[in-house]
């Protein structure tokens, strides 16, 4: 087969995956055999769950599209959703169930604080993460690009920032979750949805001052941890308001 040349342009922040020696958003690939567009894009370092729209010679295509001749390719991330071609988008927004890798403990806690369902095990190995992701239909959150490129990953996200609060804002934006935030509804320790608890039934377990000052309690049905609007609550509340304000404002 005659070698052919593919010119790819990566839009918006997909550039971060290309590595410094690329020097820009343009990559050229010389190919000698039929190759799927997904493989060509990933060979440039960009994981497929980050790709929302692909144009090959101005036509929208899916990940299975095969290249066999010279082509000009435009690759867009999710954040760049305009009004056009929304039906051709490759990613899903509004997903609320996640599995986070072992390095994202603080992001996990933040998302749980906002009410989102995040499976997390600090010691989980890659195959366990992929297994939970596939069996429970969760989106994978990881800064391991190779893992995100795994063929069975359908939905996922690579947090750009190393800062957990920034990562939280990124995830809410990426999956468009701002309307679905429900603070203090999920156990921060084990992810179970909290249940209202009757104060009378908790009396034996509460500290004397807590008994006096608080009447609203929630309890985790799994780990039995008790939550109430104590001194840490206003700190968390402030944190949630900051995150909400940041999500509403533009970066």
Summarize as ranges the residues that interact with Zn ion (CB under 5 A): 187, 189-190, 192, 220, 222-223, 225
Residue number with CB closer to Zn ion (190 or 236): 190
Residue 226 near residue 199, CB atoms below 8 Å? no
Q: What is the largest CA-CA distance in the chain?
A: 81
Edge-to-edge strands, sheet with 217-219: 195-197, 217-219, 226-227
Helices (H), the chain: 37-43, 105-113, 126-135, 145-148, 164-174, 199-202, 208-213, 231-248
Task: Rank residues 205 and 241 by Cβ distance to Zn ion and give the closer one.
Answer: 205
* Residue 101: CB minimum distance to Zn ion, A: 21
Of 34 and 189, nearer to Zn ion (C-beta) is: 189
For 130, other C-beta atoms within 10 Å of its C-beta total 18
Secondary structure class of 71 (helix, strand, coil): strand
Least distance (Å) between residue 225 CB and Zn ion: 5
Identify which of residues 207 and 224 has a Cβ nearer to Zn ion in the complex: 224
Phi, psi values for residue 88, rounded to 5°: -95, 5
Q: Least distance from C-beta 16 to Zn ion, angstroms?
A: 36
Least Cβ distance, residue 73 to Zn ion (angstroms) = 47
Between 23 and 105, CB nearer to Zn ion: 105
Least distance from Zn ion to the Cβ atom of residue 221, Å: 8
In whole angstroms, how close is the CB of 194 to Zn ion at the nearest point?
8
> Which residue, 142 or 191, has its beta carbon nearer to Zn ion?
191
Query: What's the closest the beta carbon of residue 192 comes to Zn ion, in angstroms?
Result: 5
| 91 versus 191: smaller Cβ distance to Zn ion | 191
* The total number of residues written for the chain in this structure: 251
The token duo for 128 is 């366990």
């Amino acid at each position: 087969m005659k070698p052919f040349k593919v010119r790819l342009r990566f839009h918006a922040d997909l550039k971060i995956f290309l590595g410094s020696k690329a020097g820009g958003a343009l990559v050229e690939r010389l190919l000698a055999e039929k190759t799927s567009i997904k493989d060509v894009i990933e060979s440039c370092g960009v994981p497929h769950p980050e790709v929302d729209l692909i144009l090959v010679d101005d036509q929208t295509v899916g990940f299975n599209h095969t290249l066999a001749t010279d082509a000009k390719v435009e690759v867009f991330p999710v954040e760049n959703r305009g009004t056009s071609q929304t039906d051709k988008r490759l990613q899903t927004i509004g997903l609320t169930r996640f599995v986070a890798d072992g390095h994202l403990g603080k992001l996990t806690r933040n998302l749980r604080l906002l009410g989102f369902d995040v499976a997390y095990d600090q010691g989980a190995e890659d195959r366990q993460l992929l297994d939970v992701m596939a069996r429970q239909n969760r989106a994978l959150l990881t800064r391991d690009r190779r893992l995100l490129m795994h063929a069975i990953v359908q939905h996922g996200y690579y947090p750009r920032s190393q800062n957990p609060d920034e990562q939280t804002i990124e995830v809410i934006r990426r999956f468009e979750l701002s309307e679905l935030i429900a603070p203090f509804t999920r156990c921060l320790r084990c992810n179970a949805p909290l249940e209202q608890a009757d104060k009378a039934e908790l009396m034996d377990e509460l500290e004397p001052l807590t008994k006096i000052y608080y009447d609203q309690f929630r309890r985790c049905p799994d780990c039995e941890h008790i939550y109430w609007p104590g001194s840490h609550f206003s700190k968390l509340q402030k944190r949630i308001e900051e995150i909400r304000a940041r999500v509403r404002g533009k970066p």
